[in-house]
């Protein structure tokens, strides 16, 4: 069964969804892990092994974290693929697309395995 | 009604029929000056679009660091503590600051451009894009507060 | 003759068929505050060099035929005042991303074919009016497509577009905006036919939303927004064909 039009539609839908997810969640995520780097003790305590482990032992949190990682990586992969093409970096689009999407899926799969095994 | 041949005027042989024309024209020897690979240096509006696209590289980079954090957590307390020491070291803190700036640029450009994809008319005039942009920022502030509260409370 | 006026240099791209090197000619043109670049070109053609070839017609930003690259930016030469550049030299080149026919004239055939492919005319369907009667349309129905109907086919948007630069096959901003112009018209029933063209890779999906097409549009058409809306519709039609395979094809 062949869908109508180009399959690019599917990747665009994933890109758009991932764009919303990363716009909403990535800045606060980065802000949380950056604070310890400025020597703020409360932030370092908040990121102690036990606290983060117990936070991620909640299945809902795990699923949300995985969704954020997966959607944002697919979003980034789509943009990187098109930027390669737009700036004429000499990688043929089928190869660039395969590399970008497969790395995003691979990294998300790794994250899923790690989160499931915690 | 559903037969594509009946649906199209007879002079259109194929829905992408102009491709034959442009492909033929690519053998044309006349010059075709174009914008080149460095189109993004042709002015500030192009440049900001390029930066917008570049945010994806920094978001991907950060997510790799974040998956590293989960991996360290998976391995054990010692690996995790070593990893956090690395993540909070000056070089990686600087990298994180850059990823944060790019991520914020992504958020701002994404929200501000969202109204372009939907056109809502109220009577005869389009509604202000602010009706769509403002709720996005409010949700963003809410979601960010929840994330930071969950981690730091 | 009166006193010598100020002059402004114009560096103009020249090309004749068979020529292999880039060629520019420089002309000194009298500087007039109320002159546009097109006036300067007409001065050159009338008094300095009759061999210069360029296209123009209305001189008032309506016909869309005098588009050229001015200092690397696509503009209608009838709307670009010398005073914006004076006393710096003005570089005039043919519109980017098109085959050059001669000097400042580009070959529009590619664009005309792309435009034709989206069927920019009313396609009759269920909404045919009774015989010998007019189509009725409310102001609200007109407002839905009016903005996109302002396009004058000047193709400045194609010259501003890095995607059109890389992908000669990309249907492009003006053609997609005009597809939307008819798709949104209450009298039209041709949306499904146009979607076949828009849903291809060379349709909406080549676009990476650089948005410069809308910045250079002299008529405020906002083709970038039209393309994003067409992307959303194309994506929904794609999803629909997966969920309900029988509804399409």
Question: pLDDT for C81-123, tens place per residue?
Answer: 999 999 999 999 999 999 999 999 999 988 999 999 999 999 9
Average pLDDT over residues C27-50: 97
Same-domain pairing of C162 and C242:
yes
What's C44's DSSP letter? I
Report yes or no on B7 lying in a domain: no
Residue B26: the pLDDT is 64
The pLDDT value recorded for residue B153 is: 86
Summarize the confidence of residues C175-179 as an average pLDDT: 98
d(CA A111, nearest CA chain B) in Å? 6
Between chains, do B56 and A79 touch, taking CB under 8 Å as contact?
yes
What secondary structure letter does DSSP report for C81? B
Residues 45-84 of chain A with CB under 8 A from chain C are: 82-83
Q: What is the CATH number of the domain that holds C139?
A: 1.10.1060.10
pLDDT, residue B25, reads: 65
Q: What pLDDT was estimated at residue B30?
A: 86
CB distance C171 to C117 below 8 Å: yes
pLDDT of residue C193: 92
pLDDT for res C249 = 46
C116 and C140 in a single domain? The answer is yes
Tell me how far apart the alpha carbons of residues C62 and B148 are, in angstroms, rounded to a whole number: 55
Q: Which of C106, C141, C156 represents a domain boundary (last residue)?
A: C106
CA–CA gap between residue A103 and residue B89 (Å, rounded): 27
Does C2 map to a domain?
no
What dihedral do alpha carbons B107, B108, B109, B110 form, nearest 10°?
A: 40
User: Are C26 and C39 contained in the same domain?
Assistant: yes
Residues C222 and C149 in one domain: yes
Q: Does the residue B67 lie in any domain? A: no
CA distance B145 to A19: 19
Q: Is C245 helix (H, G, I), strand (E, B) or coil?
A: helix
pLDDT at B23: 67
Whether C196 and C158 share a structural domain: yes
The Cα-based distances of B75 to A33, A88, A114, B151 in angstroms read 19, 41, 9, 21
State the Cα–Cα distance between residues C126 and B142, nearest whole angstrom.
47
Q: Is residue B144 part of a domain?
A: yes
At B139, is the pLDDT very low, low, confident or very high (cuts 50, 70, 90)?
very high
Give B17's contacts in chain C (Cβ within 8 Å): 117
| Listed residues C106, C136, C157: the one ending a domain | C106
Where residue B77 falls among pLDDT bands split at 50, 70, 90?
very high
- Which tops the pLDDT comparison, C133 or B2? C133
Give the residue among C235, C229, C157, C207 at the shortest CA–CA distance from A86: C207
**Would the pTM of this model clear 0.80, i.e. be above it?**
yes
Tally of domains in chain B: 1
In a domain, C166, yes or no: yes
Residues C18 and C29 in one domain: yes
Same-domain pairing of C234 and C143: yes
Rounded to 10 deg, the angle between the C109-117 and C173-183 helix axes is 30
pLDDT of residue B120: 87
Give the Å distances, CA to CA, from A88 to C101, C168, C172, C205: 26, 14, 19, 17
For chain C, how many structural domains are there in total?
A: 2
Specify the pairing of strand C73-76 against strand C90-93.
Answer: unpaired
Question: Residue B10 — pLDDT band, cuts 50, 70, 90?
Answer: very low
| Residue of C198, C205, C240 with shortest CB distance to A12 | C205
Q: Is the pLDDT of residue C147 over 90?
A: yes
| C136 plus C40 within the same structural domain | no
When pLDDT is averaged across residues C61-76 and rounded to a whole number, the result is: 97
Subunit contact A9:C201, Cβ cutoff 8 A = no
| B149: in domain | yes
pLDDT over threshold 60, residue A31: yes
A6/C166 Cβ within 8 A: no
Residue B143 lies in a domain: yes
Listed range (B3-7, B115-119, C108-112) with the worst mean pLDDT: B3-7
Residue B9 is predicted with a pLDDT of 46
Cβ within 8 Å of residue B22, ≥6 positions away: C110, C113, C114, C168, C169
Q: Spell out the residues 6+ positions from residue B43 whose beta carbon is closer than 8 angstroms to its own.
A: C73
Tell me how close the Cα of C74 comes to any Cα of chain B, in angstroms.
11
- Look at the alpha carbons of C97, C98, C102, C104 in this order and tell me if their dihedral is positive or negative: negative
User: Would you call A6 an interface residue with chain C, using a CB distance cutoff of 8 Å?
Assistant: yes
Contact assignment for A5 to C200 by CB distance below 8 Å:
yes
What range does the domain containing C94 cover? 7-106
Would you say the C-alpha torsion C131, C137, C141, C144 has a positive or negative sign? Answer: positive
- The contacts of residue A117 (CB under 8 Å, 6+ apart) are B74
For C139, the closest chain B residue by CA position comes to B124
Phi then psi dihedrals of residue B128, to 5 deg: -65, 140
| Beta carbons within 10 angstroms of residue B16's beta carbon | 17
pLDDT value at C1 more than 50? no
Backbone φ and ψ for C227, nearest 5 degrees, come out as -70, -40
Mean pLDDT to the nearest integer, C120-140: 82
Q: Where is the domain boundary, C43, C74, C106?
A: C106
pLDDT more than 70, % of chain B: 83
C137 touches chain A (CB under 8 A): no
Does residue C194 sit in the same domain as residue C141? yes
Residue B132 lies in a domain: yes
Stated as kind and residue range, the H or E segment containing A15 is helix A8-34
The whole-number average pLDDT for the span B58-62 is 98
Q: Is residue C189 part of a domain?
A: yes
| A32 close to B153: Cβ distance less than 8 angstroms | no
Tens digit of each residue's pLDDT (9 = 90 or more) over A36-93:
999 999 999 999 999 999 999 999 999 999 999 999 999 999 999 999 999 999 999 9
As for the ipTM of the complex, it is: 0.95
Look up the CATH architecture of domain A8-22+49-117: Up-down Bundle (1.20)
Selected residue with higher pLDDT from B126 and C76:
C76
3-state secondary structure labels for all residues of chain B:
CCCHHHHCCCCCCCCCCHHHHHHHHCCCCCCCCCCCCCHHHCCHHHHHHHHHHHHHHHHHHHHHHHHHHHHHHHHCHHHHHHHHHHHCCHHHHHHHHHHHHHHHHHHHHHHHHHHHHCCCEECCEECCCHHHHHHHHHHHHHHHHHHHHHHHC
Q: How confident is the model at residue B11 (pLDDT cuts 50, 70, 90)?
A: very low
> Is residue B2 predicted with pLDDT exceeding 70?
no
Q: Exposed, middle or buried by CB within 10 Å (0-12, 13-18, 19+), for C154? A: buried
Express each pLDDT in B18-41 by its tens digit: 666 666 666 778 899 999 999 999
Domain that holds residue B144: 124-153
Domain identity same for C85 and C199: no
Contact A10 C238 (CB under 8 A): yes
pLDDT given for residue B124 in this prediction: 87
**Residue C249, min C-alpha distance to chain A (Å):** 7
Interface of chain B against chain C, CB under 8 Å? 2, 4, 7-9, 12, 15-19, 21-23, 25-26, 28, 30-36, 39-40, 42-43, 45-46, 49, 53, 113, 116-119, 121, 123-125
In a domain, C1, yes or no: no
Cβ–Cβ gap A82/B53 under 8 Å = yes
How far is A9 from chain C, CA to nearest CA, in Å? 5
Reference A101, options A72, A76, A77; nearest CA is A77
Rounded Cα distance, A37 and B87, in Å: 7
Q: Residue A1 CB: number of other CB atoms within 10 A?
A: 6
Phi, psi at residue C188, to the nearest 5°? Answer: -100, 145
Average pLDDT over residues C8-27: 89
Give mean pLDDT, residues B132-145.
97
**What is the rounded distance in angstroms from the CA atom of residue C179 to the CA atom of residue C225?**
13
Euclidean distance between CA atoms A29 and B99, whole angstroms: 11
CA–CA distance, C183 with C149 (Å, rounded to integer): 11
């Amino acid at each position: 069964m062949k869908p109508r039009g180009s399959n690019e539609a599917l990747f665009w839908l994933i890109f758009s969804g991932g764009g919303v997810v990363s716009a909403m969640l990535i800045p606060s995520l980065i802000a949380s892990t950056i604070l310890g780097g400025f020597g703020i003790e409360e932030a370092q305590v908040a990121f102690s092994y036990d606290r983060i482990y117990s936070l991620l032992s909640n299945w809902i949190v795990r699923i949300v974290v995985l969704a954020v990682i997966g959607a944002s990586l697919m979003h980034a992969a789509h943009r990187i693929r098109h930027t390669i093409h737009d700036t004429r970096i000499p990688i043929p689009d089928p190869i660039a697309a395969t590399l970008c999407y497969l790395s995003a899926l691979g990294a998300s799969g790794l994250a899923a395995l790690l989160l499931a095994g915690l | 009604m559903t037969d594509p041949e009946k649906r199209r005027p007879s002079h259109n042989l194929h829905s992408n029929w102009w491709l034959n024309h442009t492909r033929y024209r690519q053998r044309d020897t006349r010059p075709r000056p174009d914008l080149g690979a460095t189109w993004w240096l042709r002015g500030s509006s192009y440049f900001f679009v390029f930066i917008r696209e570049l945010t994806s590289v920094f978001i991907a980079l950060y997510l790799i660091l974040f998956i590293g954090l989960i991996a360290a957590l998976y391995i054990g307390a010692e690996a995790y503590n070593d990893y956090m020491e690395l993540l909070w070291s000056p070089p990686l803190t600087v990298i994180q600051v850059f990823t944060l700036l790019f991520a914020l640029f992504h958020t701002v450009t994404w929200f501000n451009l969202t109204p372009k994809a939907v056109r809502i008319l109220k009577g005869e005039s389009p509604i202000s894009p602010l009706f769509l942009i403002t709720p996005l920022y409010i949700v963003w502030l809410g979601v960010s507060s929840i994330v930071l509260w969950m981690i730091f409370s | 003759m009166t006193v010598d006026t100020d002059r402004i240099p114009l560096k103009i791209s020249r090309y004749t068929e068979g020529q292999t090197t880039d060629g520019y000619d420089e002309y000194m043109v009298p500087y007039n505050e109320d002159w546009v670049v097109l006036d300067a070109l007409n001065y050159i053609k009338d008094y300095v060099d009759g061999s210069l070839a360029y296209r123009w017609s209305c001189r008032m930003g309506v016909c869309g035929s005098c588009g050229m690259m001015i200092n690397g930016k696509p503009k209608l030469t009838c709307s670009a005042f010398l005073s914006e550049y004076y006393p710096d030299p003005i570089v005039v080149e043919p519109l980017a991303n098109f085959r050059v026919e001669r000097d400042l004239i580009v070959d529009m055939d590619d664009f005309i074919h792309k435009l034709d492919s989206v069927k920019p005319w009313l396609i009759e369907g269920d909404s045919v009016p009774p015989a010998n009667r007019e189509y009725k349309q409310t102001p609200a129905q007109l407002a839905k497509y009016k903005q996109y109907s302002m396009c004058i086919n000047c193709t400045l948007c194609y010259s501003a577009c890095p995607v059109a630069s890389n992908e000669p096959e990309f249907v492009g901003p003006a053609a997609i905006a005009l597809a939307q112009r008819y798709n949104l018209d209450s009298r039209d029933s041709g949306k499904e036919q146009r979607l076949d063209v828009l849903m291809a890779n060379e349709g909406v999906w080549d676009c990476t939303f650089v948005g410069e097409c809308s910045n250079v549009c002299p008529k405020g058409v906002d083709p970038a927004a039209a393309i994003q809306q067409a992307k959303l519709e194309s994506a929904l039609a794609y999803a629909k064909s997966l969920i309900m395979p029988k509804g399409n094809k």
